[in-house]
């Protein structure tokens, strides 16, 4: 859901769809899997360390 469309009502509608429509939940799960990055947290930590540079002594 784009941030510009994120409202309490839109979130409630999405959650309701997930809970009441198993096919929609499965479709969303497949989409999330395709977009996911398995090592995202590690990649982000590595990037932060590189940007910070070596520790000063």
Place of tokens 């509608």: 13
21 in a domain, yes or no? yes
57 in a domain, yes or no? no
22 in a domain, yes or no? yes
State the residue range of the domain holding 44.
3-52
pTM, to two decimals:
0.46
Place of tokens 């769809």: 17
Cβ neighbors of 43 (< 8 A, separation 6 or more) are 37
Q: What is the pLDDT of residues 7-52, one digit of tens each?
A: 999 999 989 988 999 998 899 889 988 988 889 999 999 999 999 9
| Count of domains observed in the chain | 1
């Amino acid at each position: 859901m784009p941030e510009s469309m994120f409202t309490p009502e839109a979130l409630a509608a999405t959650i309701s769809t997930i809970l009441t429509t198993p096919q929609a939940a499965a479709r969303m799960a497949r989409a999330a899997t395709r977009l996911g990055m398995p090592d995202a947290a590690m990649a982000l930590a590595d990037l932060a360390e590189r940007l910070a540079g070596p520790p000063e002594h």
